[in-house]
Amino acid sequence: MPNELPPTIDPVAAARWAALTMPAGAQPDGRLDSPWLHEEVARRMEERLGWIRQQPQQWAHWEPVRGGLQAHALLARRYPDSACFVVEPSVERLKFAIEKIEKPWWSPARWKAASQRFEPPREAGVQMVWANMLLHHAADPQALMAQWHRALSVDGFVMFSCFGPDTLRELRALYAALGWPAPAHEFTDMHDWGDMLVHAGFAEPVMDMERISLSFETPQRLLQELRELGRNLHPGRFAGLRGRTWLADLHRALVARLARPEEGGRLGLTFEIIYGHAFKPVPRLRLQAESQVSLEEMRATLRQSKKNSALD
């Protein structure tokens, strides 16, 4: 598969969203209300770790501030003896993560916990990469997958989740009916994610999906939730700010088109959640007239050769 960028993601808008200092759910007093949906997806993905026998000695949490700090606590409890690397894209977000994750020096929990390092892991330095609800906002998702691949040691694995193409289908239909630009960029199908993982060097990708239906009492609450989940990165989105008249029209349209009589008129939205995991296999050495092989690749190949010899 060639390295293709998502055609409906504006890379400048994606960079602005990634650079925002505070998570969308942060309150002025510093209290963090992570998007409920992100935390719920992370809780369900954490349960899936029970299917994987491998216990990572070290793992990396990719962008936990947005992905869910409650989820970080769940993972720390599952792997109490495993060191963790926390990866955030900016100094400000990293400071926020340290404030929320690191225990005070006087806390007994800090004495007992495994080490936590607030920096990217070294190459081949971890056995698990955890990335919750991140990939669908990446302007270059294959570059992000390549970072995960470099961070993982051989036989390590990545666990990730993201939105699928059925997400916001009701809202997309509403905007189309009113002749408005799309309310969000297009989300990638799980089979395409699997192909990208293989192209990035991963093996045995396992993809799964489910649909979560949420309902909201008012259009204001619905729009608040969407603002916490992300931004519209579509290149063809509205070019400027809309006024109060447009917002009032949107509120009326949401009530008229999204109300569910069976739920007392609450406004319903569908979210397709994609889950994926894949392993980093032993590298295949490409032999040429002059070949360069990293030390980690050579060690992994030798270890695998010894295993194969023992089985013969």
Q: Is the pLDDT of residue 295 over 80?
A: no
**Around Cβ 228, how many Cβ atoms within 10 Å?**
18
Q: Is the pLDDT of residue 31 over 50?
A: no
Q: Quick one: which of 132, 135, 126 has its CA closest to 157?
A: 126
29 compared with 1, residue with greater pLDDT: 1
CA 163-167-169 angle, to 5 degrees, is 165
| Alpha-carbon span 27 to 54, nearest angstrom | 38
Burial category of 64 from C-beta neighbours within 10 Å (exposed 0-12, middle 13-18, buried 19 and up): buried
| Alpha-carbon span 62 to 133, nearest angstrom | 10
Half-sphere exposure of residue 124, counting CA atoms within 13 Å on the CB side?
A: 14
DSSP 117-161: ESSPPPTT-EEEEEE-S-GGG-SSHHHHHHHHHHHEEEEEEEEEE
> What per-residue confidence (pLDDT) applies to 30?
46
Does the pTM of the predicted model rise above 0.95? no
User: Which pLDDT tens digit goes with each residue over 226-274?
Assistant: 999 999 999 999 988 899 999 999 999 999 999 999 999 999 999 999 9
Whole-angstrom CA distances from 22 to 14, 91, 116, 126 are: 15, 11, 21, 27
User: Which pLDDT tens digit goes with each residue over 134-176?
Assistant: 999 999 999 999 999 999 999 999 999 999 999 999 999 999 9
In terms of CATH, what superfamily is 11-168+185-213+272-281?
A: Vaccinia Virus protein VP39 (3.40.50.150)
User: Which pLDDT tens digit goes with each residue over 187-205?
Assistant: 999 999 999 999 999 999 9
